[in-house]
Amino acid sequence: MRFLLFVGASNTLAESEIEAQISGATLYQPNVYLFEALDELEAQRLVTNLGCSIKLAQELPGVAPVMESLADLVTAKNFSVTCLDNFQLSNQTNQELKTVLAKGRFILPKDQFGLSPILLKKHRIDEFLLDNHREEVWKTIWVHNFEHWIKKDRHMPFANAKAGILPPKIARSMVNLVPFDPQGKLLVDPFCGSGRLLVEAAERGYRVAGTDILEEQVRETQANLKFLGFEAQVSVLDATHLSDLFYDIDAIVTEPFLGKPNLRPDQIKYLVPGLQKLYLGCLKDWHKALKPGGFIVMVFPSFDTGKQVYKTSSIIDGKLELSYNLLKRGILYSRPNADVRREIVILQKK
């Protein structure tokens, strides 16, 4: 069976997450991926795990993309039809829709991605997506659990908009870049902050542990994990000494210390060598703490002064080749208007 996955943001992080988690998925159109699964349940299980997923539609094979053929398929009071390949429905088509499908209330989509998950769920809307060019009809069968994502974003004990906090969906996507089944595996975040990554990893089935140099952050992580029903070893530790406490780690996923925010261009050129030294120290120590074949998914910041771009990820070239395989780099994620750009890198211990 064929399914369309709608993602929240069309970026290399979403693309890499899907590549790691859904084999054979291909880009159907911007923000929409096509994949095959055995049945509806398997497809839903796959996309529920992802940070980037927003909604899922299933193909209705044999149904022609014309209004009449949809009439029998509407079961809800409210319904909506979106043309994926040509969003603007003409007034005539709209009229035709209303008369042919006189069964319920027609909700007009606002763009070619159809209705938002919140609208779909709140008003229990049957949503059909037509592709006239490919002669395909799809029906939305799942939307992401936005209430749970909002709870994790805004209503955890320590979940305010403090600088440096990863949005939960981004944290989930980062966790999913580790290309194996998490059940029972140990994932550690050595710069755990308020524990966003660890919460997502725990929800994916990892055993989790974290460290942070500040006791306050350790307490925040513990409180956030407990709030969602998870237990973990969280300790005060300098990340360059992780191997003092851990061995045989399956995966390290982390957004490390990125430097103080809002630095002036002349300060950035001093910050970057300091960060690179810290990251090199970490990667050297983490090699001892990881299992052979263990993974690191790590954010490397880059800074644009207007005159020059400073990339901390340049430390990967050369020096680390003896100890790690570079699986992927150039996975980009930035917050809107951020002065720090984040490049996510995936390494595997040799």
Ligand X SMILES: C[S@@+](CC[C@H](N)C(=O)[O-])C[C@H]1O[C@@H](n2cnc3c(N)ncnc32)[C@H](O)[C@@H]1O
Binding residues for ligand X, rule: CB under 6 A, are 164-166, 190-191, 193-197, 212-214, 217, 238-239, 255, 257-258
Q: Which is nearer to ligand X, 116 or 235 (CB)?
A: 235
Q: How far is the CB of 172 from ligand X (least distance, A)?
A: 12
In the complex, least distance from residue 194 CB atom to ligand X, rounded to whole angstroms? 4
Shortest spacing between CB 170 and ligand X, in angstroms: 9
Query: Is-contact 127 120, C-beta < 8 A?
Result: yes
For 9-48, b where at least 16 C-beta lie within 10 A, e where not — what string?
Answer: eebebbbbbbbbbbeebeebeebbbbbebeeeeebbebbe
Please say which residue, 65 or 195, places its beta carbon nearer to ligand X. Answer: 195
Q: What is the DSSP string of 78-130?
A: EEEEEESS-----HHHHHHHHHHTTTSEE---SSTT-S-HHHHHHTTEEEEEE
Nearest to ligand X of 8, 195 (CB atom): 195
| Closest residue to ligand X: CB criterion | 193
Alpha carbon distance 173, 185 (integer Å): 17
Cβ–Cβ under 8 Å, residues 138 and 4:
yes
User: Which residue, 123 or 219, is less far from ligand X as judged by CB?
Assistant: 219
Minimum separation from the CB atom of position 216 to ligand X (A): 8
CA angle, corner 345, sides to 245 and 302, nearest 5?
105
Please give the Cα distance from 326 to 314 (Å, whole number).
12
Residue 254 makes CB contacts below 8 A (sequence gap 6+) with 189, 190, 191, 192, 197, 239, 296, 297, 298, 299
Cβ proximity to ligand X, 125 vs 174, nearer residue: 174
Which tokens sit at 284?
């050297």
The Cβ of residue 215 has, within 10 Å, a number of other Cβ atoms equal to: 10
- Give least dist CB 72 to ligand X, A: 48
Shortest distance (Å) from residue 141 CB to ligand X: 32
Minimum CB separation of residue 217 from ligand X in Å reads 4
Q: Which is nearer to ligand X, 172 or 196 (CB)?
A: 196
Measured from the CB atom, the residue of 84 and 239 that comes closer to ligand X is 239
